[in-house]
Structure 1
């Protein structure tokens, strides 16, 4: 690339020099020739005026007198009617520049100058033009080398950054080069590095959370199997087997959720999807549990919102918030969807006592809980939201209002708000 930049820059400069150099040589040649011819004509006019003045004064017109009025190297011929022709200097033989003038007394003065002087002047001009062209070529080469270094070195750095990302090192370099296009590429690579770092962090945390979330159903299942192995009562075996099957179903559900989250975090497959589908799915999934608890779950707000993210991750976040309200909240749980700026927002609120004042700023930290639980659910939900390009916040403590913010696709049409029970 470096060689191509130098060659292309040098080629452009040579073409420009050739075009303008030839034009300048033609113009200078004509200018120098015209100037020399004009000097000869003026010399003839000056000499004829001198001859006129001497003739009018009755003075002699001789070669000795006129020689002092002629520049060296020029040939002059004075023709006066009735008198001998006066010639001064040596007549050039290489094709001279000729100037001729006639006086008031009928005399004729002819001045000739050798073209050698014009050739010398033209040669000096061509040497100056050639020197300027050479300096221009040298300057172009230096400029091309500098520009090549300025462009090639950043591209090498960007290639190394991309290679580091591919090898699993997602640290952004935050290095800029002063070239808008290259800085844009550097911005994209840094953003990709930060996103990869977030995804790797989320994946590591998800692995840690998996061991925690699987430990409880496995322990419960182990206890039920121990009860079965130590009893001979068929009814007890049947009851314990039924409970064990329930634990297996719970374990299967946890594994499926963890695998879904793991795939989404690993691939970063953010798409544009319909939020209504995810919200309705969660309401249908949790409505039996709320009905069993004698409570209700409803949704309201803006319809047909489309957001950018991973549907599976959004479903996991909403499930964590709904389960948190079921376990620790009270009354009706409401999911409200709205739009703020360029973001789609889903709020989850209930009529319970809310979040204790001393935990408001730490509610999303791991192992922080006000009800003797593990404190991992909200932390996992926050990690999933951030890995998906959104954020999860506690907008209000009493009554509790949790909000999931996602980037949204601009809605084409507006629909009336709805309330579904």
Structure 2
């Protein structure tokens, strides 16, 4: 927007300056011509004053002095055909002036000012002052150059002022866009500084109000989910007591296991609600991956699985909590152990990436099995190997929560490769 506003102001200023300076430039040229002709006329009249009183020698001396002082060639055409002063031919304009009419005539090299002097014995004398093209335009080029510099300076000032005004408009709009992206990424604490024109300030206040309202609604939803989860504990406790009072131990044990599973699910819901109610945190991906791979390394050794681990030496922060990243790594490695034969090698690589961090889990097994119905293997609940199909979905949601993505590829030589892009905090 800044560039377009600058171009608009430059174009508008240029048109205005052209409309003003072009006529002004032509007027300056006309004034220069008029001034030169007026000066030449005065010089010719000063010589004409002595035509009738001086002899030829005196008249020639006067013409020469006038030519030397003014720089213009002064010629006197006498009635008898004699020419005194600077040599010049008797042009048709001189013949016209000899009839008693003073005039200004154009010549191939400029102009000539002709002053008729009547009362001279033998007829009418004509005093001619020659002007060159340089005489007619003296000072015009300098004035035009000054006007051009002034016009360019005014255009530059206009562009600078327009850029400052555009910056005052675009800076708060850029801030609004940045805050909206942060809100879309899950940062509900993001707020914009209300500044700029009244309309932009209204938008900023509306965005801040919307962000606050979203935070309130999410907090209310989480509190409601937590309340519901807690309320379930009371009937669960009563159900547990009823199961314990059953006379059949086998049935009681089976129902007790079901109650325990239900209680664990409720506890998981409460824990998840509490975790989501906290601000999004980050962790050191290198430390978390090293810890989880060390945990799985024991099982890999028992199954004779060659394992390759590549981690960066420095810390690698990502916008994922340690618990979520641990669950993600466990899901990916659990898939390797669950869906590849024992002895199948696998590799875990964590490297920096333009997004933040790249986690690659590759194995040399049979590859990703086709899901029933040829659906997307990343779709929640889909699995081609009899599992719940939630492992890849957990990894995908973890990556997208951090601002990254998940990609599935085929390992060279056979096998599956899961590439997880994790964003920075």
On whether the aligned pair clears a TM of 0.5, the verdict is no
Per the normalisation by structure 2, the TM-score is 0.44
